[in-house]
Structures are given as C-alpha cells and as structure tokens.
Chains A and B, each alone.
Chain A
C-alpha cells in the first residue's frame, strides 16, 4: 500500500490505517441520506414530466442520479477531509477517521461520476446526462472547491447542485428542460438556504472552528435569522406555484399555502425569539415541508395515472 503521507492526492495529509477500508466505508462515502433525498426529488421530476419512459430505463435513470450524487459526496469528502476532521458531525467519516486513504475516495468518486453520466446517456438521453454531469461538476468545483471556504453565500449558490435532480428526472423523460422542471428546481433552490442556515445557527461554533464562512459565522446570528425570513417569504408562494401553473391540483395549492405559511411563521418566531430549540424546530420542519410538497405532487400523478 502507498504511504498516505507520500500520496500527492492526499490534500489534507491525513494518515490512513493499515487496515483495508470496509464495504461500509465506501457506502458512507456516498452520503446515503443525501442520496435518498435526491432519489425522491428525482423520481418526482420524472413522474411529473410529460412523456413516457420504460420502467427499466426509469429505474436506471434514478440509479444514475443516486450514484452521481454519491460520487459528488465521495469527491467532496476527499477534498474536505481536513475540515471534516475538525467538526464533531463529520470527524467519523472514513478519511478523517483514518479508515481510508484519501486517494482511494477520490478514485472511487471519479469512477462513479463518469460511470453514472455515461450510463444515463445510454439509458435516456444526452440532455439528462449533460445535466447530471453539470450537477456533479457544480457540486465539486463550484460549491466544494470554490464557494464553501470563501463566501457566506456558499449555501445559496451551491444549493443549485441539490436542486438539479428533479430537473434531471424531468429531462430523462421529456428530453428537454421546460417550465415544470425549472419550477421544481426553484423550489429546492430557495428551500436550501433557510434549511441549512437554521442548522448552521446551532452549529455556528463548529463551522467557525473549521474556518467555514457560514452566514452566522460571518454576518452574525441576527442577520442570518433575517435572511431565513426573507427566503421563507420567497419560498411560501413558490410552493403554491405548481398549482397556479396547473402542474398540481388546487388541493395541493391550498395545502402548499398552509405549509408555506407555517414555514414563514416558524421563521418569524425564530427571528423574534432566537433559541437553538426553535432553530432545530425550523430545520426539522423544513425537511417535512419539502417532503410533503414533493410527495403530494408525486401522489397526485401516480393516483391520476391509475384512476
């Protein structure tokens, strides 16, 4: 085995254990929880899109979106191993914990990235494959390597990477990018900042110690809470828009309106009465909010197709 210290790809200079990494370490590199969200939103985009795709090809497309997201996660863990070692939440990841040499994670990520894009192109179309390649490149080069350690807007711009999967799913079926796909993209794009800032309010000290310029670290907690309210004001009506544009039913519109108002209410309450409990409450609710919106749209299409 190559000595990790003489490895030119070991950017963080972390030592790896002489034991070979286990299968579970490779799975951890893929960030399975992020993958599950990406599969869910990608599937929604696919079901909402006009057109048809053979179930086997649809399965392959979803698999490619999931593996592409996992590949981004693996390359992110390779690049961020130094700051992962500092933060409590991430210090047990395979590279900082010394269970895997950094270069192995990079190789694994690159192989999966190239493979997922190639298979997506073969199974569906070049638009979906191109969008998947763009998503991986955006997450790795724009978010991980450029924005994350430089600007407090890292989450805002970098959030685009997490917003692409429903658009990729849409393109896999329809072969193009139309207003519906863009709307699903916008929903996740404007949801991401309040979601992550709520968490970063609680984890601000850890981010500061790792030198990551999250908004609460750079601009302070009151400014972050104001920004959360601002994004919630944009997000609440955006959630209703699928009903207005007739991609979803009026019942969805009513539900999305109520859920959006609750989101805004929680954001305002956090701005007026800042406590870690309320911040974590908003963080938890934001996950439920996005899940319910997408699940509702998905269920309407699936039930509509069977009715």
Chain B
C-alpha cells in the first residue's frame, strides 16, 4: 500500500473517532441541561 493511502486511511479513522467523541459530548450536554432544568424547576428556584 502506498504511503499516501495509509495516511488517508489514518486521517479518516481519526476523523471518525473525533465525530463519535463530538456526538458523545453533545449527548452528554443534552442530558446535563435536561437534568439542570429538572433540578432547578424541581426545587422551585433558579440557583442564586
């Protein structure tokens, strides 16, 4: 396999891993905001 091809493959692999990581971070943020909202509305006061 040519060096350029293996570099392309490695680049694709890294981008795919980064996309999955980004998806995981966004999902975690979604859950975090949901829980924050539930807690703050649940206690009847925005934290201050």
Contacts and interface: CB of A to CB of B under 8 A. Distances in A.
A123 B34 CA distance: 11
Tell me if B's interface is mostly helix, strand, loop or mixed: helix
A23 interface: yes
B17 A54 contact: no
Q: Contact residue range for chain B?
A: 10 to 19
Interface string B1-36: 000000100110011011001000000000010011
Interface string A108-130: 00000000000100111100000
Nearest to A128: B47
Contact of B39 (A19, A57, A119): A57
A19 B11 contact: yes
A57 B38 CA distance: 11
A60 interface: yes
Contacts of A122: 36
B36 A123 contact: yes
Q: Contact residue range for chain A?
A: 10 to 19
B11 A22 contact: no
A18 interface: yes
A173 to B, nearest CB: 10
Contacts of A54: 39, 43
Contacts of B14: 19-23
Contacts of A21: 14, 18
A19 B43 CA distance: 49
A19 B35 contact: no
Chain A CB count within 10 A is highest, among B14, B40, B43, for B14
Given A20-B11, A20-B15, A53 B47 contact: yes
Nearest to A25: B14
Interface of A: 18-23, 26, 53-54, 56-57, 60, 63, 119, 122-125, 175
Identify the 9 closest CB pairs spanning chains A and B, nearest first: A20-B14, A23-B21, A54-B39, A56-B39, A22-B14, A56-B35, A20-B15, A20-B11, A23-B17
24 contacts: A18-B7, A19-B11, A20-B15, A20-B18, A21-B14, A21-B18, A22-B17, A22-B18, A23-B17, A23-B21, A26-B18, A54-B43, A56-B35, A56-B36, A56-B39, A57-B36, A57-B39, A57-B40, A57-B47, A63-B32, A119-B32, A122-B36, A123-B36, A125-B47
Given A18-B11, A119-B32, 13 more contacts: A19-B7, A19-B11, A20-B18, A22-B14, A23-B14, A26-B21, A54-B43, A56-B35, A56-B36, A56-B39, A57-B36, A122-B36, A125-B48
